[in-house]
Amino acid sequence: MKINLLLFSILIGVFFSSTVMAKPHSLVLPTQFPLKKIQITVSSQSNKENAERYQISINGNGNSYFIKNNQQQPLNVTNDTLIELLNDFYAVHFFEISDTFNVKKKVVLKDSQTVTTIVNKEPAIESKKVCVQLRYYKKCLSVIDNQPLGVSQIVNKIETLTRTTGN
């Protein structure tokens, strides 16, 4: 009887632990995570047919790379650089920013007495998608017209890493 109860407990534990692992991303930003579970990606996005597309992937496991014109080049990114980039993301409050900046709001004065807000969703012709994954937590946002500025500056810094390796 004790063995059956033990087996049942183990099976229930395995079932629930695999259920938890099946979630693709967590909504809770972790405060501690293994270095090898960090991934930062930047990719260009465009609706234009002949647009040049690229992807940069910086991984805590050491397998960082740059893909352009369907050619993958390795990137040498040190742990210190990776930590510096993460600190940059925290400094600009990346994890608290809205996911997209293609919604533009403008205040206008109507009939000289009423102020109204106009909300327009602008088509994202060209943008860059930035994602940071820490363990099972993942946050992505689109950078459009260099906005948000702080994240745009981090993207420029990451793009510079591809130039230092001769790409």
pLDDT of residue 25: 65
Confidence tier at 159 by pLDDT (50, 70, 90): very high
pLDDT tens figures, 5-41? 444 444 444 444 433 333 456 778 888 999 999 999 9
Separation CA 111–CA 84 (nearest Å): 51
Domains and CATH numbers, the chain: 28-164 (3.30.1560.10)
Query: Measuring CA to CA, how many Å separate 72 from each of 28, 43, 69, 119?
Result: 32, 13, 8, 40
